[in-house]
């Protein structure tokens, strides 16, 4: 489904972002990537849809090399990959529905979308996507009137509207409180199971990773240092990935407890 072949990312200043990554992610997997900040999680994720270019190697998505693709071909591959961001990346002044519909533009020619008109099927797809994350009733609200958790669900709906085969989520819960974190993760899990969409998520909460993932990949300094099912990802293994014992702030449960005291 997604193959990384000898992927290397070197920044112009010489820093190695990714060092010889070889991975194969199968269809329908729920992969969580863990690691310290700066370990290359985000770079790895963003190289899948080429928001970041890699220096050498190749990434193949669903049999097509995105590394070699360009122009229209590249956009076609990207259309099949939905992405969810830490800061939601919604157009705040636009309505929820407009935001979700914008996920459909890859299906139409540039010219026909310039007037902002979408056919009825697109509206149905968008509303259906909103129903899946339980915020269909907010379809005509402005995005900036929604809470953080609701906005993140809108961005999940936008990704769903693409009818993707893969969903990438870059720290999707880092700006959310513990309660909404669970709702958003539940949504992602349900979508993964019901629609069989391959899902790759960057997380820094270890307990969350164990709870939702089918497979965990540990990164350290741009290299894969762990790759296996949840059952093998013991505390000792995490300590290895992080190069030190686990901190409290890497556990959602601890964050929630902290929140509970202060609130």
Query: What residues line the site for another protein (CB under 8 A)?
Result: 49, 51, 74-83, 85, 87-95, 98, 102-103, 105-106, 110, 113-114, 116, 127, 136-142, 145, 155, 158-159, 162, 168
Give the Å distances, CA to CA, from 16 to 5, 7, 10, 41, 56.
Answer: 16, 11, 5, 13, 12
Q: What is the three-state SS of 106-130?
A: HHCCHHHHCCCCCCHHHHHHHHHHH
User: How many angstroms separate the CA atoms of 23 and 236, rounded?
Assistant: 23
Nearest-approach distance from CB 139 to another protein, in angstroms: 6
The residue among 105 and 246 lying less far from another protein, judged by its C-beta, is: 105
Place of tokens 């989520």: 169
Nearest-approach distance from CB 137 to another protein, in angstroms: 3
H or E stretch at 187: helix 178-195
Instruction: Classify residue 114 as exposed, middle or buried by CB count within 10 Å of its CB (0-12, 13-18, 19+).
Output: exposed
Q: Are 153 and 184 in contact (CB under 8 A)?
A: yes
For 59, other C-beta atoms within 10 Å of its C-beta total 23
Nearest-approach distance from CB 191 to another protein, in angstroms: 16
The residue among 137 and 249 lying less far from another protein, judged by its C-beta, is: 137
The residue among 82 and 178 lying less far from another protein, judged by its C-beta, is: 82
The residue among 35 and 82 lying less far from another protein, judged by its C-beta, is: 82
Buried b / exposed e over 148-185, threshold 16 CB at 10 Å, is ebbbbbbbbbbbbbbbbbbbbbbbbbebbebebbbbbb
The residue among 15 and 87 lying less far from another protein, judged by its C-beta, is: 87
The residue among 81 and 252 lying less far from another protein, judged by its C-beta, is: 81
Nearest-approach distance from CB 12 to another protein, in angstroms: 14
Nearest-approach distance from CB 238 to another protein, in angstroms: 29
Nearest-approach distance from CB 174 to another protein, in angstroms: 14
């Amino acid at each position: 489904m997604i193959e990384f072949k000898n992927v290397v990312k070197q920044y112009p200043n010489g820093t190695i972002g990714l060092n010889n990554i070889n991975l194969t992610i199968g269809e329908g997997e729920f992969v969580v990537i863990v690691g310290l900040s700066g370990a290359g999680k985000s770079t790895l994720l963003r190289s899948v849809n080429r928001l970041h270019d890699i220096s050498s190697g190749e990434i193949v998505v669903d049999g097509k090399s995105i590394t070699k693709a360009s122009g229209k071909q590249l956009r076609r591959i990207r259309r099949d990959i939905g992405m969810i961001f830490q800061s939601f990346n919604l157009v705040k002044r636009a309505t929820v529905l407009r935001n979700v519909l914008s996920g459909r533009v890859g299906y139409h020619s540039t010219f026909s979308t310039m007037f902002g008109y979408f056919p009825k099927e697109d509206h149905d797809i968008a509303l259906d996507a909103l129903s899946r994350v339980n915020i269909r009733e907010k379809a005509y609200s402005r995005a900036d009137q929604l809470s953080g958790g609701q906005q993140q669900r809108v961005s999940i709906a936008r990704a769903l509207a693409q009818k993707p085969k893969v969903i990438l989520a870059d720290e999707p819960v880092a700006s959310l409180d513990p309660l909404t974190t669970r709702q958003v993760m539940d949504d992602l899990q349900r979508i993964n199971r019901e629609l069989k969409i391959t899902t790759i998520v960057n997380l820094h909460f270890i307990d969350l990773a164990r709870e939702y993932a089918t497979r965990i990949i540990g990164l350290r300094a741009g290299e894969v240092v762990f790759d296996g099912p949840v059952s093998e990802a013991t505390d000792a293994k995490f300590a290895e990935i992080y190069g030190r014992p686990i901190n409290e702030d890497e556990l959602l449960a601890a964050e929630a407890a902290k929140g509970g005291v202060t609130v």
